[in-house]
Amino acid sequence: MTTEKRLISLSVNGELQAKIVEPRMSLADFLRIELELTGTHVGCESGVCGACTVNINGQTARACTILAVQVEGDEVTTIEGASESGEFRDLQDAFHARNALQCGFCTPGMLMMSAELLTQNSKPCRQEIREYLSGNYCRCTGYEAIVDAVETVAQTRNARVGEQDD
């Protein structure tokens, strides 16, 4: 069966993109193949592992469970865009400092989720961090270091806010 390709236009990391795609192409494949943004990793392709997590219009989403044709007109931010803007440089530094990554496959998704958690809850307890990240698999670290890193960033950000209030 042949299907009609479609022209889609959207913003990715602040840049307007227009491409012709097959309807069955996932957003994850679109980012990786069409735009060569390979920081969005493809693991399970069924929404379970979290490696492909991106941000769409300000909310995290699984790029493997969304068709590229669905994000017409949307604003997508990937790990490349977030790294370049430095919006969660402190999280990246904390992951590095605490060895919260080994192979790095899960890290983009972990960072996207952690960043969203800290915008919604500035003082998460360890249990809340674990629950928020429970849909993201890491097969290297055993998670402890990841939870440490996110907790450290939350505490550092709060201390900074405290200083500003003084």
Partner 1 sequence: MKPAPFDYVKPASLEEALELRRRHGAESAILAGGQSLVPDFNQRLRSTETVIDINGLSALSSIEESQDMISLGAISRYREIETSALVAEHAPLLKMAIPEIGSPAIRNRGTIGGSVSMADPGAELPACLCALGANFELARAGSKRMIAAQNFFTGRYETALDNDEILTRIDVPKNRVGFRSAFHEIARRKTGYAMCGVAAHGKVTHQSVQNLKMVFFGTDDTPMLAVNTISVIEGCAINDVPPAELDAALSEDLHPSDDTHGSAKLRMHYAKVLTRRVLAQFVSAHGEE
- Judged by CB, which is closer to partner 1: 44, or 159? 44
Phi, psi of 26 (to 5 degrees): -75, 160
Count of alpha carbons within 13 angstroms of residue 13, beta-carbon side: 17
Contacts by 119-123 with C-beta closer than 8 Å and gap 24+?
Answer: 122/154, 122/157, 122/158, 122/161, 123/154, 123/158
If binding is defined by CB under 8 A, does position 67 make contact with partner 1? yes
Of the residues 17, 38, 70, 102, which one makes contact with partner 1 according to CB under 8 A:
70
Of the residues 65, 93, 102, 140, which one makes contact with partner 1 according to CB under 8 A:
65
C-beta of residue 51 within 8 angstroms of C-beta of residue 105:
yes
Which one of 10-18, 45-53, 89-97, 148-156 is the stretch in contact with partner 1 (CB under 8 A)?
45-53
If binding is defined by CB under 8 A, does position 73 make contact with partner 1? no
CB atoms within 10 A of CB 121: 13
If binding is defined by CB under 8 A, does position 136 make contact with partner 1? yes
Binding-site ranges for partner 1 (CB under 8 A): 1-4, 6, 22-26, 29, 45-47, 50, 53, 59-62, 64-67, 69-70, 112-113, 116-117, 130-132, 134-136
